[in-house]
Structure 1
Amino acid sequence: MTLITEKHLSLSDFKEIVYDEKHVSLDRAILEKVAKNHDFLKGFASNKIIYGINTGFGPMAQYRISEDNLIALQYNLIRSHSSGSGKPIDPILVRGLLLARLNNFLQGYSGVHPELVELIVNLLNKKIYPVIYEHGGVGASGDLVQLAHLALSLIGEGEVWYQGEIRSTKEVFSVTGIKPLTIHVREGLALINGTSAMTGIAMINLIQAKKLLEWSVFLSAMTNEVVEAYDDHFSHELNHVKHHPGQQIVAAMMRNLLSNSQMIRSRKKHLYEGDKMDQDVFEDKVQEYYSLRCITQVLGPIHDTISQAEKVIVAEFNSVNDNPIIDHENANIFHGGNFHGDYVSLEMDKLKIAITKLSMLSERQLNYLLNAKLNEKFPPFLNLGTLGLNFGMQGMQFTATSTVAENQTYSMPMYIHSIPNNNDNQDIVSMGCNAALLTRRVIGNSFEVLAIQMMTVLQAVDFLDCTGKMASATLALYREIRAIFPVFTDDQPRYKDLDRVKKHFETAEPVFSSVHRAGANAAVLA
């Protein structure tokens, strides 16, 4: 059980509620604040012109709504904007969206009745998720269309996900004993006017992006290990003179992962000691290819991009993002644009560019392992069968290459794709939900690419028969993945193996990741 108080929620709190499915309860003080804010709005709105209470919406805000139509206005808003299309958003994303919308209301500036926040808590705890579609929101009056589908379910209409199926909201509410929301003053506008769809999805993207980065560091370390690379490119001495925290953290993680490897070579021992200068052509490779040697410089900026995105997205998650703002403490109502999703849109674009680069690094490391002319160490395509007769990882490389190319196309920014709409009332928009959904696609693709690289690295380990010389951390990962993907020499369809490894990467924590994270941070601070 997670008790939500007036304290801001962290990404870890979000993860516990969304991924670990912890039940939610609300502190009494929060409910009292929401109730007080609602009561202020009811009293203040009498005989005043307030947008969305007694006016039309958007470009029709100049039209006054009669007293007897105020409640119908809110229902009309929800129903008319439930116009999404495309695929339904995954239930895990909807759970994140629900928590983001709940957290907005709990700030006590939206004028909603406490019944609304208690209903959202009920849906979270009973794992009932509104069916919300990918297409529709432009991210300027917020995620209007996506959030309208949330609101539609709350009033007992539309469909919901329940026990893995899409079912009628009315039917599920009846079975679970849930009473649909009653509109009191402005619950319709409050529900659909905000950034909670893009923010909930962005929070999930952050969790998965951080996991991807750790797997990428792990795989980069293993790739260096199986090719017996030199140790100086991830040394403290080389990396601490480049003053970027991400680079130093990635280097420290690699040092910790490979600390007791017997395969990583010392440049001093192999190139500086002994008589090497009598050779016209050096037997030892003097420097590795960039995909092996420049890992800290490539993954470092990705680490820092994720860190910056976390600051911005968590701040948005804990913000008030609807309009107008009901300020009972100052006894006033403020109109503006806190629903505008530019903060989220820009960070998601930056994040998807960074993750695309991560997938590109993985694809280059994969190519190095598969190309015998480059590595001069392994058989073509890590083929452990008969050359010419068998194909090894050849077919899997096509999938990795194709998927990285798709990532590169998706990485065109959404943030700069503003298209005016709503009779030009919304003349500059963020496209934030689109940005968040495309980022999720890039992250999912990247798990596929890293899974293919992982499968290839394992084949390399078995070709070398080197488990006795591996670092303890990389050996543990080898055993962990070999349990679900056995070594192979024959040609068989590998798509189910790929799916298993990908799902493992998406759901599991990298082996010893918390230990190496802590060690890396300590090393940088030192």
Structure 2
Amino acid sequence: MPLKIVEISEKGVDIDEIEQLLFGGAKVAVSSKLKDKVTKSFHFLQEFSVDKVIYGVNTGFGPMAQYHIKDEEINQLQYNIIRSHSVGAGPPIEPVYVKSAMIDRLCTFAQGYSGIHPALIQTLIDFINFDINPYVPSHGSVGASGDLVQLAHIALVLIGEGEVFYNGKLHPTADVMKQTGIEPFKLHIREGLALTNGTSMMTGVGLVNLILARKLLHHALVASAMMNEIAQSYDDFLAPELNGVKRHNGQVETAAFMREWLKDSELLRNRKKELYNGTKASHFKQKVQPYYSLRCVPQVLGPVWDTVKIAQQVIIDELNSVSDNPIVDCSSGNIYHGGNFHGDYISFEMDKLKIAVTKMIMLMERQLNYLMHDKVNEILPPFVNLGTLGLNYGMQAMQFTATSTTAENQTLSYPMYLHSIPNNNDNQDIVSMGTNSALLAKTVIENGFQVMAIHYMAIVQAIDCLQAAEKLSPKSQEIYHEIRSFFPTFVDDKPRYKDINRIVEYLKTKSIVS
């Protein structure tokens, strides 16, 4: 099978292409038309800046912009911003998120509004395609003037300095460049500022967050469908007539997804047949209406569905935008100074996304509690314990982990978007904190997969306890058998943390249909 190439062109890049680049082994390229635009932009900036004051070309940066730079020092200025700003702290950001940030920076540069030398395009392509990922500390960005500190760490390796992750290990950049035949990029009149000035780190993290959040939402919908099978719910909570009178697309789509998923299930009950038949019973063993965590799934996950869709549009728009300053516009023959590096769009969406994911995981935790609590479900032993009550403990302790992790998400979901703190001699007097927002959302999503894994463990245990596998819908049966292929039914008490990790990996890597 030929290797897939994702070409950056004037039409932009979509989320499925980003997923192919990050997780599907695809390589990146830039169209010849865009490469020509980049070359034209570089030469235009060279000519235009000869007798004019251009920020970051012949001036200092930030509050130092009031100082003019001598012609013979212009090149050194570009190295200085990279080296002086490579001052991040904290644990490194995982390589896939950094690779995503490099792809975003490539998308910005490829549009031909940054005045960079065209060779920088190829250097970025080489790093991405060789899967060489810079060491980038997690702390440093305030998200306005872009992600200066973290992007400086990326820039540092492009000029042959700093450290990179390659083949799973951390190496000096120079060694890996020598090994792969990549030449360190030599800065010209603007590349230092262009590399550090933009929203690429927060957008890169945001792209990975989005891919994983879409998967989490899919798994939450599937888990909710299987939960209603286990509870043998009445099917009308998903009826199009019911959900259609609530004019929210997410609710309608969620209900439609679950209806399709549960098609041909033998476990859902039909209200018309059982309760609209003139029955005179004084007590009903089956709940007439189940708990909200089962019955209100379209109403709870509908807003999450809508939030993920909106976040996708905003993040992809940012990916295909130019988050640089100043903007080198050959078509109008001018250079414009402004604030396209400001990350409020990403910061706001990451906060909304993490709130949505947290609410989704709260729903999963409540569904898990339904399975754990025999007095609530009235059909399962305590903690889905398939062993000897008192001697064995089933999933009792795993519920502790899920509850604790859900609680952490609730605390982490305070909006970072509102945490602007002026700095940089008050030049940056209102900032986005976009990378902090994206990294917090990343943690919330990672936590979400852990809770989701425990929930799926309980679901398949419950199905075995009820001997209901053959009555599930065909799609639910498929999920059940996939999980059981590497996580067998258990009765005895053993450490299960590796099982949790295996199911997390399964959930993250399983292909889903958008």
TM range (shorter): over 0.9
CA contact (8 A) 1:84 1:145 kept: yes
Which residue of structure 2 lines up, in the alignment, with residue 451 of structure 1? 453
CA contact (8 A) 2:78 2:188 kept: no
Structure 1 segment 32-71 matched on structure 2, within 5 A: 32-71=36-75
Unmatched 5+ stretches in structure 2: none
Please state whether the residue corresponding to 2:323 is helix, strand or coil.
Answer: coil
Which residue of structure 2 lines up, in the alignment, with residue 348 of structure 1? 350
Q: 1:372 pairs with 352, 371, 374, which one?
A: 374
Question: 1: distance between equivalents of 2:232 and 2:429?
Answer: 57
Which residue of structure 2 lines up, in the alignment, with residue 225 of structure 1? 229
Per-residue deviation, 1:21 = 2.5
Counterpart of 1:261 in structure 2: which amino acid? Answer: S
Which residue of structure 2 lines up, in the alignment, with residue 418 of structure 1? 420
Question: 1: distance between equivalents of 2:152 and 2:230?
Answer: 53
Question: 2: distance between equivalents of 1:259 and 1:319?
Answer: 42
Q: 1:82 pairs with 79, 86, 92, which one?
A: 86
Whether 2:98 is the aligned partner of 1:94: answer yes
Unmatched 5+ stretches in structure 1: 518-526
Whether 2:239 is the aligned partner of 1:235: answer yes
Which residue of structure 2 lines up, in the alignment, with residue 524 of structure 1? none
TM (normalized to structure 2)? 0.98
Question: 2: distance between equivalents of 1:70 and 1:174?
Answer: 28
Question: 2: distance between equivalents of 1:284 and 1:410?
Answer: 38
CA contact (8 A) 1:271 1:284 kept: no
Post-superposition Cα deviations, 1:3-44, rounded to whole Å, max 9, x if no partner, equal: 222221111121111221311222211111100000000000
Per-residue deviation, 1:234 = 1.1
Which residue of structure 2 lines up, in the alignment, with residue 153 of structure 1? 157
Please state whether the residue corresponding to 1:415 is helix, strand or coil.
Answer: helix
Q: 2:117 pairs with 98, 113, 117, which one?
A: 113
CA contact (8 A) 1:97 1:200 kept: yes
Structure 1 segment 341-490 matched on structure 2, within 5 A: 341-490=343-492
Question: 1: distance between equivalents of 2:32 and 2:468?
Answer: 60
Please state whether the residue corresponding to 2:138 is helix, strand or coil.
Answer: strand
Post-superposition Cα deviations, 1:402-443, rounded to whole Å, max 9, x if no partner, equal: 000010011000000000000111000000001111111111
Q: 2:307 pairs with 305, 308, 328, which one?
A: 305
Post-superposition Cα deviations, 1:471-524, rounded to whole Å, max 9, x if no partner, equal: 1110111000001110001000110111100110011125xxx3xx6xxxxxxx
Whether 2:10 is the aligned partner of 1:6: answer yes
Per-residue deviation, 1:275 = 2.2
Post-superposition Cα deviations, 1:341-397, rounded to whole Å, max 9, x if no partner, equal: 000000000000000000000000000111001011100000000011110000100
Which residue of structure 1 lines up, in the alignment, with residue 31 of structure 2? 27
CA contact (8 A) 2:151 2:196 kept: yes
Please state whether the residue corresponding to 1:222 is helix, strand or coil.
Answer: helix
Whether 2:139 is the aligned partner of 1:135: answer yes
Which aligned segments of 4 or more residues in structure 1 are displaced greater than 4 angstroms? Answer: none
Post-superposition Cα deviations, 1:242-264, rounded to whole Å, max 9, x if no partner, equal: 11111111101111111101110
Counterpart of 1:465 in structure 2: which amino acid? Answer: Q
Question: 1: distance between equivalents of 2:188 and 2:91?
Answer: 32
Which residue of structure 1 lines up, in the alignment, with residue 212 of structure 2? 208
TM (normalized to structure 1)? 0.96
Per-residue deviation, 1:274 = 4.0
CA contact (8 A) 2:75 2:187 kept: yes
Counterpart of 1:441 in structure 2: which amino acid? Answer: T
Q: 2:509 pairs with 507, 510, 521, which one?
A: 507
Structure 1 segment 168-317 matched on structure 2, within 5 A: 168-276=172-280, 278-279=281-282, 281-317=283-319
Question: 2: distance between equivalents of 1:425 and 1:393?
Answer: 54
Post-superposition Cα deviations, 1:270-301, rounded to whole Å, max 9, x if no partner, equal: 2221423x41x332311111000100000000
Question: 2: distance between equivalents of 1:290 and 1:172?
Answer: 55
Per-residue deviation, 1:107 = 0.9
Question: 2: distance between equivalents of 1:360 and 1:345?
Answer: 23
Question: 1: distance between equivalents of 2:307 and 2:29?
Answer: 33
> What is the number of equivalent residue pairs in this alignment?
510
Please state whether the residue corresponding to 1:111 is helix, strand or coil.
Answer: coil
Post-superposition Cα deviations, 1:52-88, rounded to whole Å, max 9, x if no partner, equal: 0111110111011111111111101000000011111
CA contact (8 A) 1:199 1:317 kept: yes
- Tell me whether 342-351 or 15-24 shows the greater mean CA deviation: 15-24
Percent identical pairs in the alignment equals 55
Please state whether the residue corresponding to 1:427 is helix, strand or coil.
Answer: coil
Please state whether the residue corresponding to 1:225 is helix, strand or coil.
Answer: helix
Please state whether the residue corresponding to 2:416 is helix, strand or coil.
Answer: coil
Question: 2: distance between equivalents of 1:19 and 1:335?
Answer: 37
Question: 1: distance between equivalents of 2:286 and 2:495?
Answer: 38
CA contact (8 A) 1:324 1:335 kept: yes
Post-superposition Cα deviations, 1:146-196, rounded to whole Å, max 9, x if no partner, equal: 100000000100001111111000111111111101111100000000000
CA contact (8 A) 1:270 1:284 kept: no
Q: How large is the RMSD of aligned CA atoms in angstroms?
A: 0.9
Please state whether the residue corresponding to 2:315 is helix, strand or coil.
Answer: helix
Question: 2: distance between equivalents of 1:287 and 1:434?
Answer: 42
Question: 2: distance between equivalents of 1:275 and 1:99?
Answer: 64
Please state whether the residue corresponding to 2:133 is helix, strand or coil.
Answer: strand
CA contact (8 A) 2:30 2:110 kept: no
CA contact (8 A) 1:4 1:26 kept: yes
Per-residue deviation, 1:144 = 0.3
Counterpart of 1:242 in structure 2: which amino acid? Answer: K
Please state whether the residue corresponding to 1:264 is helix, strand or coil.
Answer: coil
Post-superposition Cα deviations, 1:311-339, rounded to whole Å, max 9, x if no partner, equal: 11110100000100011111111000000
Question: 2: distance between equivalents of 1:275 and 1:355?
Answer: 42
Question: 2: distance between equivalents of 1:397 and 1:128?
Answer: 39
Question: 1: distance between equivalents of 2:462 and 2:286?
Answer: 20
